Amino acid sequence: MYKYPNVDKLLSRRTFLLGLGKGVLFSSLFFRLIYLQLFKSDQYKVLADKNRISLRLIPPPRGSILDRNDNILALNKNNYNMLIEGTKNISEINETIEKISRIIFLSETEINNIFDSFLTKKKSDLPIFIKKNLKWSELASLNVNLINLSNVFIEQGIKREYPFHNLASHVIGYMSSPQKSDIKKNPFLEMMDTNIGRSGIEQSFEKELRGFPGTRHLEVNARGREIREISKEESVRGSNIKLTIDINLQKYINSLLKDKNGSILVIDVNNGELLAVESSPNFDPNLFTKSISQEKWDELIKNPMAPLVNKAISGEYSPGSTFKLIVLYSALINKIIKPNGAINCSSKVEYGDRNFYCWCHKKKTGCWATQTRTRKVGPELAIAQSCDGFFYKLAKKVGIENIAETAKNFGLGSKSGVNLKGEKSGLVPNKSWKKKHHKQSWKIGETMITGVGQGFLTTTPIQLAVMIAMFANNGKKIFPTIYKNIKGVNANDNEVFTTQTLYQKKFFSLIKNGMFSVVNKPFGTAFGSRTSRPIFAGKTGTVQVRTISENERELGIIPNKDLPFNQRDHALFLGFAPYKNPKIAVSVVIEHGGSGSKIAAPIAKKIFKKALL
């Protein structure tokens, strides 16, 4: 059995043992402190210095966007933003929001945004935006109450402003806050208050416009609150971009397209400069700067007329009768038809088990040829009258391969290369394309349909503008450009058609002569839009978007006005002016507008008058 010793003696002994234990523990602290404070001291001193210096980026002023006459289309305006100091404490944010809500109105979206940015940001020492673009009244009432809001401050920032609002909005584009994917590509975006270009020039020339951020080294506390500035390097302003757009012309065109769904381009036939690019309906880029509300955004996104889409470069349409210029040119250079040749025309062409109808089929007035009982139709009349019968037969003779080659030479079927994002390439079909995509061989009937610009063939309005400009300038290859002054990029080497021969000048005059007749001869399809100042030429197109059954043809084709909107024809007109010495070309595409001659041609006339007089 355990003999219990004298407790007092035992206590002394145990106290001594305990003291030894304390000594061991104490030594561990002692040596730890020697290690930290004597051996590692230099290292920790560096860390301590690093700790209190925070790098902040100063967003650079963004370059302005100007039109060709130096009107400012996009500029920076000062604005005032309210921020809360960086914090790790969500209740602090809650409290502050509550306090601020008593002073100024904060919408639910704004409050949600504050918490979103609180939860998503990686560095807790960066301030968070509470409200951007404060109004003067808000600024005034906040300034009075700022003493009670120690963790809130107001910062002057810059915001993008578009003084012309909806005008040229598709070309200029808009800006909005960077998304997660943008930040991944450029982590600096998170460190400064900046938006990035989302479409148009703002997007294409984001790098040039943005400039270089400046830096501020700040001594901060653990909550990121600025204590003092250690050093500052100013930001470098982004470059200005001067566009080829003429905003006054654009404004006029915008008014012509009011309540219409379509696009218009005006291009300089000699150098490819785009004087106006309008897509309707459009939008006000200023909406996005103020962080657009959900309703407004839904309104834009859900609108069936797609206001955010630049139809001038992204809309793919059958070119309709405007494509006949290509077919005729292809026939001429491939010597399928002589300039003075003619084809027996009829309003109904039968091939295989299909019938191909001319627009004049069963029309009371008929076409010039039927009225004058002319059976033989030459190229000039065929263009002027837009004889479908003529082109069915001609296309069949030229063959799809030749047509496709010519079309590609005029820039169809591939992107024009204009510096705007979202351009589509359209489609110029040929035999191998069909084999590849439809696993079927090409049918002659499809060549005939292509001959009148329907079928698989699609083009974008900008391609059509380039095409008509090339007819106007006798085949000189041009590249559409939207800006005037960016170094290195504007190499607009205007190469001349490599296949151009002496004969071709003759072909171009022949085709242009046909286009002159379209507008200026009584039998022309756009005779109603003729004008002597300036004399212009062009080609109409009315693009069918539905199949007309044989039955309907017998009963009489339903007129556009009786059809539901989205089954009505697209109205097209391509033209150039002045006729003698072409300067500009236009491409007018009105979706579901009706006939090219009645709807599109009058618009083109107005544009020529406005632009050239």
Partner 1 sequence: MNVIDFLPRINWFFVILLLLISSIGVALLYSIAGASWDPWALNQIIRILISLVVLILISLVNIGFWYKLANPLYLFSIFLIFLTFFYGKEVSGATRWIDLYFFSFQPAEITKIFVILALAKYFHSIKLQSYDIKQRIFFPLLILFIPVLLIFKQPDLGTALIIFFSGIIVLFLSGVQIKTFILSGIGSLILLPIFWTFLEDYQKSRFINFLDQQSNTLGANYHITQSKIALGSGGFFGKGFLEGTQSHLNFIPELETDFIFSVLGEEFGFLGILFLFFLYFIVICWTIKISLESKNYFSKIFGISFIASFFLVIFTNIGMVTGIIPVVGVPLPLCSYGGTAIVSNFIGFGIILSGYNYRDFKLQNI
Looking at the DSSP bridge assignments, the partners of residue 129 are: 83
| 441-447 LR contacts (CB < 8 Å, sep 24+) | 442/400, 443/352, 444/351, 444/352, 444/396, 445/351, 445/352, 445/354, 445/356, 446/400, 447/395, 447/396, 447/398, 447/399, 447/400, 447/403
Cα 543-545-551 angle, rounded to 5 deg: 105
Cβ-based nearer residue to partner 1, 121 or 609 = 121
CA dihedral 277→283→285→291, nearest 10 degrees, is -160
- Stretch in the footprint of partner 1 (CB under 8 A) among 1-9, 263-271, 283-291, 536-544: 1-9
> Which of 28, 372 has the CB closer to partner 1?
28
Please tell me whether residue 26 binds partner 1 under the rule CB under 8 A.
yes
Binding range to partner 1, per CB under 8 A, among 6-14, 156-164, 418-426, 443-451 = 6-14
| Residue 228 binds partner 1 (CB under 8 A) | no
10 binds partner 1 (CB under 8 A): yes
Count of beta carbons in the 10 Å neighbourhood of residue 299: 14
Q: Which helix (H) or strand (E) holds 502?
A: helix 502-520
Among 11, 90, 548, 558, binds partner 1 (CB under 8 A): 11
Query: Which whole-number Å values give the CA distances from 436 to 80, 199, 399, 424, in the listed order?
Result: 58, 33, 19, 20
Start-to-end CA distance of the chain, whole Å, equals 126
Using the minimum distance from each CB to partner 1, give the nearer residue, 43 or 344.
Answer: 43
Return the number of the residue (7 or 613) whose C-beta is nearest partner 1.
7
Nearest approach, Cβ of 218 to partner 1 (angstroms)?
Answer: 11
- Tokens representing 84 are 């809360």
Residue 168: phi, psi to the nearest 5?
55, 25
* Binding flag, residue 47, partner 1 (CB under 8 A): yes
- Out of 90, 140, 222, 496, the only residue in the binding site for partner 1 (CB under 8 A) is 222
Cβ burial, residue 186 (10 Å; 0-12/13-18/19+): middle
> Of the candidates 90, 227, 548, 558, which one interacts with partner 1 according to CB under 8 A?
227
Nearer to partner 1, 51 or 509 (CB): 51
Smallest gap from residue 93 Cβ to partner 1 (A): 18
In the three-class reduction of DSSP (H, G, I as helix; E, B as strand; rest coil), residue 27 is classed as helix
**Shortest spacing between CB 82 and partner 1, in angstroms:** 23
Are residues 169 and 282 in contact, defined by beta-carbon separation less than 8 angstroms? yes
Q: How far is the CB of 106 from partner 1 (least distance, A)?
A: 28
Min separation Cβ 185 and partner 1, Å: 24
Minimum CB separation of residue 119 from partner 1 in Å reads 16
Task: Please tell me whether residue 40 binds partner 1 under the rule CB under 8 A.
Answer: yes
- Smallest distance, partner 1 to C-beta of residue 2, A: 5
22 binds partner 1 (CB under 8 A): yes
Those residues with Cβ within 8 angstroms of residue 15's Cβ, 6 or more apart along the chain or in another chain: none
Helix (H) or strand (E) holding 265: strand 262-268
Q: For residues 221 and 235, which CB has a smaller minimum distance to partner 1 in the complex? A: 221
Best CA proximity match to 56, nearest among 29, 85, 89, 19: 85
Which range of residues in 41-49, 294-302, 404-412, 500-508 is near partner 1 by CB under 8 A?
A: 41-49
Q: Which of 20, 32, 90, 528 binds partner 1 (CB under 8 A)?
A: 32
Neighbours of 217 (CB within 10 A): 15
Task: For the CB of residue 121, give the shortest distance to partner 1 in the complex, in Å.
Answer: 13
Could you say which DSSP state residue 255 is in?
A: H
Contact 58, 235 (CB under 8 A): yes
Q: Under the criterion CB under 8 A, does residue 27 sit at the interface with partner 1? A: no
Binding residues among 381-420 for partner 1 as defined by CB under 8 A: none
**Smallest gap from residue 231 Cβ to partner 1 (A):** 18
Least distance to partner 1, CB of residue 11, Å? 6
Determine if 36 is a binding residue for partner 1 (CB under 8 A): yes
Per-residue string for binding with partner 1, 112-131, x by CB under 8 A?
--------------------
Q: Could you tell me which stretch among 46-54, 182-190, 203-211, 412-420 binds partner 1 (CB under 8 A)?
A: 46-54
Q: Does 20 bind partner 1 (CB under 8 A)?
A: no
Q: 364: burial class by Cβ within 10 Å (0-12, 13-18, 19+)?
A: exposed
Q: How many residues bind partner 1 (CB under 8 A)?
A: 43
12 binds partner 1 (CB under 8 A): yes
Told to check if 94 binds partner 1 by CB under 8 A, we report: no
Query: Facing residues of 280 across strands?
Result: 262
Which residue blocks in 386-442 are alpha helix, DSSP H?
Answer: 388-398, 400-409, 431-438
Tokens of 492: 């607009």
Instruction: Give one DSSP letter per residue of 143-179, joined into a string.
Output: HHHGGG-TTEEEEEEEEEE-TTTTTTHHHH--EEPPP
Closest to partner 1 by CB, 222 vs 558, is 222
Asked if 84 touches partner 1 (CB under 8 A), the answer is: no
Q: Which residues bind partner 1 (CB under 8 A)?
A: 1-5, 7-8, 10-12, 14-15, 17-19, 22, 25-26, 28-30, 32-34, 36-38, 40-41, 43-45, 47-49, 51-52, 219-223, 227
